[in-house]
Chains A and B, each alone.
Chain A
């Protein structure tokens, strides 16, 4: 506690400062490399692992099984439809998943009955799902529509609230990065993309922007009266704001991750693939990426976007002039990237 509190104090006063803004080139390069790596890995794996909702087909979930032999599940299907491709997988303890091509109603009932017999479970333990090949597309199309409407509205909201469209722009660009990287992580690790995962992605959007708004609010507060500031350049002010809210950013992401992590753990460990796991997995990844993006991408990006503004340039020039004139106040540790040494 005390160490954390001291650290928080030092961040607040600027005694300790992490160069989120000053080292933007480094962060952007790292961000780009991460994106390229995740994209490359996704391509290397042959694209995304789309769930059955996108491919279309029939799926059976058998729970409460003691025998997890895939062959039993496969023959339960091939007995009914000999010419079909079947994959039976053990997705969680005591749970089997059997996926096939599209079966008709009667075949579905027969297969369900066969599966009960093969795994020695009751009718209550077999769930069947049939998905048309366009269902996943319908979901993602609706999600995309939702995404566009949301981004437009939230960009307006932010521009109005912060009274500068540059904050909106920085936030939205960062948002797209978050989505791209999270998708890339999904692709490169081979996690299945299901409609539930898409819900998770949509939540990430909300979370990432929410987090950005909180940090940007502090940035706005610090840069509101720029003309009167005699110590810090614009980007130093932005950087100070990010540092001042760092404790909050870290605490928030930890607090956000804890419940999501517990769903993920229980979902993946005990229930296997399904709504809970897919949603929480996406959000879990998204919270981490979203928080990091606010600190390393959105805030520096905003400072960069404002760099060419005339009032910012004038102000920065004034501060730098004052510093080089050796007024004795110029040794503020936050000013130069070299000050990172005390991190």
Chain B
């Protein structure tokens, strides 16, 4: 270990890398053993087959959609798609204002409509309420036994809205089944309805719509304050109405506040389901209401976001829709992988041509990078449902070339150092000291591009950016934790240190004068400075020239090293010994 320099405990570094790979593999192994993942990457729709729709939001008045409203809209689409029985649907907001919906198979026109339609929020007064279970059949009242309404209903809270049919529907209503059903036909605004409040497990008969979601101007949440302005330590949702909403809401609260429970409640209904059914404690005449209850910060925020969405119901336009058959996707995947393999072989072949045995280092580094990338993709598929798309595969293949560049930069630096006269072991260290900066900053550029693309872009671009970023990270890990330590170890082997012609680091080819030991013997080499006196007269000039050609930075560095002595001194003297013993022969 004496020959290792400050940066070097190569075996330990390799051990760490091995540990990372072992841990990742073990995690994956546990996942496979417990049937939580298959060990294969999840495939995106363009590879697996299915339908991908890209939607853009549309509001009635063309207002800007905030990101909270978008998230809310996507949440609503997700509930609807889940409710329609389509499994494994993926719905994401991408690039700020585009929604990408991916579904297996071909959606029917009903699902398509559900996805596009805007959610409907409305405020209805409660007429009657009960626990959210169906009345047991033996206790049910027969339809004809329900009384007919005695008069035309006078207002939204009037029990005269309840027809025998509605009463029958209400007694049979089971909230568990109702909520699981998901998608419901919208009830006309001037008719009563039954609905459930999933939060408290209650079911209600509701009057016609009295205030519309679009009449909400804003909603937020915070700590409720008592009349004196003192915070009550209780989470509350605040909402305010526009002018029409204010007067409509004033009428409702005027009417229901004095009523007995549950008729003093009003229900906020979103897509047919009650999201909140507060009771009214006071007449709200200024259009600014506060809802309190058993809110936590999270539930208060959720409700305020839902209310905000009501202020701006968003419908969606299908911008693009693609139906990909599974066989076509498999075809593309197959040929994509073949292309990747061919690319890898070509790159390896070229590296062997240029760097001889060092090509093996490149190839094994690429393989390690490939293993890391694969593990990352499979694990991300398991943990975050990351799906590999065709563009993602293209990203990985393109990354082969970008990854190999790190090694090229490093190898060229090693060569530069050897040209300056260093033996391989030193060249590996000094080359690394300079190459790692270049590699880090250039990878930072790659990573930056990948991150920006990932967050700004839509659709395919994302999958591509993701794998590009992932491979850049894998590349950095591999260069630092594999390629460099491996080079350190190799530099200690006789094959490489002696500059065997097949090692790719043959000093004679790097502008150094070889010193022949004779037939069948390996070559030794020296630094330029030491080798120079041994050269013929003619070479003297050119060696001076070579020294003169060194850049200032290089000269400075050499000077600094001479001063420091470093461990390089040790090795330099070793090579002198070798040279002088050679001279005696």
Contacts and interface: CB of A to CB of B under 8 A. Distances in A.
B397 A142 contact: no
Interface string A112-140: 00000000000111111111101100110
A142 B325 contact: no
B408 A127 contact: no
Given A129-B322, A150-B452, A279-B464, A266 B510 contact: no
B391 A14 contact: no
Interface residues of B, number: 86
Contacts of A261: 343, 346
B447 to A, nearest CB: 9
B84 interface: no
Contacts of B98: 138, 142
B332 A274 contact: yes
B339 A266 contact: yes
A132 B112 contact: no
A217 B443 CA distance: 13
A217 B441 contact: yes
A26 to B, nearest CB: 25
Nearest to B511: A9
A276 B339 contact: yes
Contacts of A161: 441
A124 B98 CA distance: 29
Contacts of A158: 445
Interface stretch (A34-42, A185-193, A204-212, A318-326): A204-212
User: In terms of DSSP, what is the predominant structure of the interface of chain A?
Assistant: helix
A240 to B, nearest CB: 7
A63 B331 CA distance: 10
B331 A206 contact: no
A138 B409 contact: no
Given A2-B509, A205-B449, A255 B456 contact: no
Interface stretch (B12-20, B278-286, B411-419): B411-419
A274 B511 CA distance: 48
Contact of B46 (A6, A125, A157, A275): A275
Nearest to B394: A279
Interface in A192-221: 195-196, 198-199, 202-203, 205-207, 209-210, 213-214, 217-218, 221
Contact of A53 (B320, B328, B390): B320
Interface string A259-279: 111110111001100111001
A143 B457 contact: yes
A187 B405 CA distance: 30
A173 interface: no
B394 A280 contact: yes
A196 B391 contact: yes
Contacts of B453: 146, 150, 202
B291 interface: no
A249 B56 CA distance: 43
B448 A150 contact: yes
Contacts of A244: 416
Interface residues of A, number: 94
Nearest to B509: A5
A203 B398 contact: yes
A153 B412 contact: no
B326 interface: yes
B461 A139 contact: yes
Contact of A195 (B397, B402, B446, B460): B460
A157 B458 contact: no
A154 interface: yes
B56 A260 contact: no
A198 B350 contact: no
B401 A195 contact: no
Among B320, B321, B344, chain A packs the most CB atoms within 10 A around the CB of B320
B342 A262 contact: yes
Given A139-B461, A213-B445, A262-B342, A276 B336 contact: yes
A146 B46 contact: no
Contact of B319 (A15, A105, A132): A132
B451 to A, nearest CB: 9
Interface of A: 1-2, 4-6, 8-9, 12-15, 53, 61, 63, 105, 123-132, 134-135, 138-139, 142-143, 145-146, 149-150, 153-154, 157-158, 161, 195-196, 198-199, 202-203, 205-207, 209-210, 213-214, 217-218, 221-222, 224-226, 228-229, 231, 237, 240, 244-245, 247-248, 251-252, 254-263, 265-267, 270-271, 274-276, 279-280, 283, 287, 329
Given A130-B318, A263-B398, 9 more contacts: A5-B510, A12-B419, A124-B328, A125-B328, A131-B321, A135-B319, A214-B405, A256-B401, A276-B390
Lowest 9 CB-CB distances: which A-B pairs, in order?
A259-B343, A206-B449, A256-B401, A146-B456, A5-B509, A9-B511, A258-B346, A135-B319, A262-B342
15 contacts: A6-B511, A132-B319, A143-B456, A154-B448, A195-B461, A210-B446, A217-B437, A225-B553, A228-B556, A252-B404, A255-B401, A274-B332, A275-B332, A276-B335, A276-B336
